[in-house]
């Protein structure tokens, strides 16, 4: 599988936690969408061993997480993420026998670890476990994402909680204490993705060149009996130009718009039958100038092992916009990829330079599935606004004009392998 990629959402209040780099030098593979010929990875439970955890007990966050291969298999990829999608930095040895985290785990966080392997015959395996790290105290810590910086108009705000919150009244306390402000003002709301994760987005995209501030008033507030809010680091997002890329899978064209003006239209190829590209709105997650994409790690029947350049990632499961010089003859004519949007090297380099994390990429007229709202990147914009409000603990009252005076939500008015 590919060099797994970082996500910008934060997961812990620990100041020393650096989770911005890829987990391992690993090979990538394109993910199909329902190809009946693709062999599913087998259960690799007997081929890997985890240090200090089998998922049944809390672990010491100050100890490194280690994954070791057994039985002659080799590890091809390890991804350890929290509920917001931020990836733990780690290293895989040259022989693929051991992966080790290179930064401390966060306290009071739930992790999901996904390990891909190959046995002696090259067959792909997969093992996934979840575990919790020990909390420092009986505090509900909140970590906002993304990190402070410049993002596109589609970037949602995320809040990762150190403990699950399920009681509706407790959720309302949390939500009222998480403040999102925007200049110029917007109408927006939080959405509970799960018991540990909230996303905030405006009704429409962020205005170009807006300034968005995220703060918490939860510190010292009783969330429920015996549970009090902890401190949280604030985040500031500077929104750039409104950059929007529209890919029409039926006409095999991608048009990039900047601030409402069409900049360029280029020929592309998207996913072929059995591997059709997801329809819907996606958000740029990261950019990688080079990714090695390999089919065998996820059991795709069509073999490939390709160096891929100028790769702009839009889903965690491996959908990219990237250079595909091998398919130039099909670009603008037919869909021949395994789900990615391929274009010439020149056009891919141009696209790579035009976009930044948070910019919007939409695919229409594909025969593929719809983009998932959560868990595979940021599909938040595919949820209609009325449905989005239903995900708030404050209900329809969550709709509010976020103001620069930081009044939002104070009281009732208030996210696997690349595809080529």
Whether residue 388 is contained in a domain is answered as: no
Task: Judge if 95 and 44 occupy the same domain.
Answer: yes
Task: Judge if 227 and 280 occupy the same domain.
Answer: no
Distance of CA 313 to the CA centre of its chain: 10
Whole-number pLDDT of residue 311:
96
Number of domains in the chain: 3
Contact 124, 296 (CB under 8 A): yes
The pTM (predicted TM-score) of the whole model is 0.69
Name the domain boundary from 205, 240, 275. 240
We report the CATH number of the domain holding residue 256 as 2.40.440.10
* CA pair distance 283, 153, nearest whole angstrom: 9
Whether residue 413 is contained in a domain is answered as: no
Q: Which residue in 217, 335, 168, 113 sits closest to 343, CA to CA?
A: 335
Condensed to tens digits (0 to 9), the pLDDT of residues 266-287 reads: 999 999 998 999 999 999 999 9
Residue from 110, 199, 252, 340 carrying the catalytic annotation: 340
Range of the domain at 132: 1-136
Whole-number pLDDT of residue 300:
58
Whole-number pLDDT of residue 414:
28
Kindly report which listed range (108-112, 225-229, 296-300) carries the lowest average pLDDT score: 296-300
Buried b (16+ CB within 10 A) or exposed e, 175-196: bbbbbbbbeebbebbbbbbeeb
pLDDT at residue 53 greater than cutoff 80: no
Q: Where are the beta strands (DSSP E) in 280-331?
A: 280-283, 286-294, 305-313, 320-323
Percent of the chain with pLDDT over 70: 78
Whether residue 58 is contained in a domain is answered as: yes
Name the domain boundary from 136, 168, 199. 136
Task: Judge if 4 and 44 occupy the same domain.
Answer: yes
Whether residue 273 is contained in a domain is answered as: yes
We report the CATH number of the domain holding residue 147 as 2.60.40.3710
Task: Judge if 109 and 162 occupy the same domain.
Answer: no
- Higher pLDDT, residue 36 or 48: 48
Task: Judge if 171 and 126 occupy the same domain.
Answer: no
Whether residue 383 is contained in a domain is answered as: no
pLDDT at residue 347 greater than cutoff 60: yes
We report the CATH number of the domain holding residue 36 as 2.60.40.3780
Q: How confident is the model at residue 302 (pLDDT cuts 50, 70, 90)?
A: low
DSSP state letter for 204:
S
pLDDT at residue 229 greater than cutoff 50: yes
- Higher pLDDT, residue 415 or 266: 266
State the average pLDDT over residues 289-317: 78
- Higher pLDDT, residue 164 or 5: 164
Whether residue 373 is contained in a domain is answered as: no
Whole-number pLDDT of residue 59:
84
* CA pair distance 104, 336, nearest whole angstrom: 42
* CA pair distance 69, 374, nearest whole angstrom: 31
Residue 364, CA distances (Å) to 329, 361, 371, 374 in order: 22, 10, 11, 19
Q: How confident is the model at residue 1 (pLDDT cuts 50, 70, 90)?
A: very low
Euclidean distance between the first and final Cα of the chain, in Å? Answer: 12
State the average pLDDT over residues 253-268: 98
Whole-number pLDDT of residue 133:
82
Task: Judge if 157 and 71 occupy the same domain.
Answer: no
Task: Judge if 175 and 297 occupy the same domain.
Answer: no
Residue from 179, 322, 338, 409 carrying the catalytic annotation: 322
Task: Judge if 272 and 315 occupy the same domain.
Answer: yes
User: Quick one: 236 exposed, middle or buried, by C-beta within 10 A (0-12, 13-18, 19+)?
Assistant: middle
Q: How confident is the model at residue 192 (pLDDT cuts 50, 70, 90)?
A: very high
- Higher pLDDT, residue 294 or 103: 103
Whole-number pLDDT of residue 39:
54
Whether residue 417 is contained in a domain is answered as: no
pLDDT at residue 9 greater than cutoff 60: no
Task: Judge if 7 and 79 occupy the same domain.
Answer: yes
Whole-number pLDDT of residue 339:
92
pLDDT at residue 201 greater than cutoff 60: yes
Whole-number pLDDT of residue 226:
78
Whole-number pLDDT of residue 71:
80
Name the domain boundary from 117, 136, 155. 136
Task: Report the chain's mean pLDDT, rounded to a whole number.
Answer: 83
Whole-number pLDDT of residue 56:
74
* CA pair distance 64, 91, nearest whole angstrom: 11
Out of 59-63, 186-190, 223-227, 300-304, the most confident range is 186-190
Q: How confident is the model at residue 54 (pLDDT cuts 50, 70, 90)?
A: low
Cα-flanking dihedrals φ and ψ of residue 167, to 5°?
-70, 130
Percent of the chain with pLDDT over 90: 57
Task: Judge if 201 and 248 occupy the same domain.
Answer: no
Task: Judge if 87 and 207 occupy the same domain.
Answer: no
Indicate if 322 belongs to the active site: yes
What are the tokens at 190?
A: 């939080």
Label residue 249 left, alpha or beta by phi (over 0 means left) and psi (-120 to 50 means alpha).
alpha
Label residue 247 left, alpha or beta by phi (over 0 means left) and psi (-120 to 50 means alpha).
beta
Condensed to tens digits (0 to 9), the pLDDT of residues 90-140 reads: 999 988 999 999 876 776 778 899 999 988 888 888 989 899 887 766 899
Task: Judge if 288 and 176 occupy the same domain.
Answer: no
**Hunting for tokens 């890829």 — which residue is that?**
22
- Higher pLDDT, residue 318 or 302: 318
Whole-number pLDDT of residue 305:
75
Whole-number pLDDT of residue 413:
27
Whether residue 221 is contained in a domain is answered as: yes
Indicate if 179 belongs to the active site: no
């Amino acid at each position: 599988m590919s060099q797994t990629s970082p996500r910008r959402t934060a997961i812990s209040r620990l100041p020393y936690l650096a989770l911005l780099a890829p987990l391992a030098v690993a090979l990538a593979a394109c993910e199909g969408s329902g190809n009946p010929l693709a062999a599913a990875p087998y259960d690799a439970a007997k081929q890997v061993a985890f240090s200090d955890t089998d998922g049944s007990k809390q672990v010491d966050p100050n100890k490194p997480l280690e994954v070791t291969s057994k039985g002659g298999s080799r590890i091809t990829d390890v991804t350890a993420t929290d509920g917001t999608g931020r990836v733990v930095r780690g290293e895989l040895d040259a022989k693929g026998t051991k992966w080790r985290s290179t930064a401390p785990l966060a306290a009071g966080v739930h992790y999901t670890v996904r390990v891909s392997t190959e046995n002696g015959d090259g067959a792909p395996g997969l093992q996934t476990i979840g575990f919790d790290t020990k909390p420092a105290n009986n505090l509900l810590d909140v970590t906002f994402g993304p990190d402070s910086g410049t993002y596109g108009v589609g970037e949602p705000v995320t809040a990762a909680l150190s403990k699950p919150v399920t009681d509706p009244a407790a959720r309302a306390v949390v939500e009222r204490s998480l403040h999102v402000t925007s200049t110029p003002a917007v109408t927006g709301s939080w959405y509970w993705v799960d018991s540990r994760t909230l996303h905030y987005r405006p009704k429409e995209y962020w205005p170009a060149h807006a300034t968005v501030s995220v703060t918490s008033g939860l510190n010292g507030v009783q969330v429920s009996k015996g549970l009090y809010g902890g401190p949280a680091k604030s985040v500031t997002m500077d929104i750039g130009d409104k950059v929007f890329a529209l890919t029409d899978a039926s006409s095999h064209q991608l048009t990039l718009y900047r601030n409402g003006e069409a900049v360029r239209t280029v020929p592309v190829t998207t996913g072929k039958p059995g591997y059709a590209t997801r329809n819907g709105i996606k958000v740029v997650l990261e950019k990688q100038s080079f990714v090695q994409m390999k089919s065998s790690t996820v059991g795709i029947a069509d073999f490939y092992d390709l160096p891929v350049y100028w790769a702009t990632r839009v889903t965690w499961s491996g959908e990219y916009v990237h250079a595909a010089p091998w398919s130039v003859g099909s670009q603008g004519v037919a869909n021949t990829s395994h789900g990615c949007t391929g274009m010439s090297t020149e056009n891919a380099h141009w696209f790579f330079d035009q976009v930044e994390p948070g910019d919007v990429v939409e695919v229409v007229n594909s025969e593929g599935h719809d983009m998932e709202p959560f868990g595979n990147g940021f599909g938040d914009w595919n949820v209609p606004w009325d449905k989005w409000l239903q995900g708030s603990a404050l209900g329809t009252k969550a709709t509010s004009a976020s103001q620069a005076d930081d009044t939002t939500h104070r009281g009732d008015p208030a996210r696997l392998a690349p595809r080529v």
